[in-house]
Amino acid sequence: MNGAESTDVIIYVVSDSAGDTGDLVVRAAVAQFHPIHAKIRRAPFVADESALVRVIEMAKASGAIILYTLVIPHLREAMNRLAAGSNVVAIDLLGPLVESLENKTGRQSRHEPGLNHVLDEDYFRKVEAVEFAVKYDDARDTTGVKKADIVLVGVSRTSKTPLSMYLAHKKFKVANVPLVPELKPPDELFVIPKERVVGLTIGVHYLNIIRKERLKALGLPDSASYATAERIERELAYADEIMKRIGCFVVDVSHRAVEETASLILEYVRGN
């Protein structure tokens, strides 16, 4: 092909799902032939042979190529037969690979269109939840309290942030709010349904050890007021008062791994 000839190619992407997979493959292939311009025409959610007949007729009339991602066997067989009978170039993207996997594994394909989109949606929900947890960590923006699926409240070092991230990977949007005697808690905490709020508490001795280790890690003396038993008792008493005011579910995180605490929270949330 030289520069004086047409560089337009028509490609029909036929699928019993949305056709995104075929579309991506076509674009990747065409990119190797720049400056060829491909006109991609989708025929998504094909459900019967009559739809295939219409596509093949249009492809034959325009000299187009067909790329198809049909996972339902009778539709794939019909496309093979109809395309061959009409002398239309039709490329089966998934069929050979599915058959090879069946032979290799000894298992049958589920033959269900759109399963990859289920995975994609699942992935993107997880990414969205993680981004939410980062944005609304430590009450940086209290508007997240109303938007969250779960709001964690508790004093410093009760695993609010690790729990937020863990629950985000379970596709829950989590905001967390530190409870500090010197700071007024956001009004949103007392407006949202109490079932969406989870309080985190901890034993004084256990938190004292954790905070001292935190201070050491920061290169600070472990005698700072942040880690004293008196300060911790005051904070926990204040947090307990707030949690009772909200009427929320409370989990004691003392000696519990993040996964164990998260499991208790998920059990509670899914039961409400």
Binding residues: 154-161
Feature table: binding site for ADP? 154-161
For residues 205 and 180, the answer to whether their CB atoms sit within 8 Å is: no
Q: Is the dihedral of CA 224, 227, 233, 237 positive or negative?
A: positive
Distances (CA, A) of 108 to 27, 111, 139, 167: 30, 8, 50, 34
Strand segments, DSSP code E, in the chain are 8-15, 37-43, 65-69, 90-92, 150-154, 174-178, 197-201, 249-252
First-to-last C-alpha distance (Å) of the chain: 65
Give buried/exposed letters for 239-261 (b at 16+ CB in 10 A, else e): beebbeebebbbbebeebeeeeb
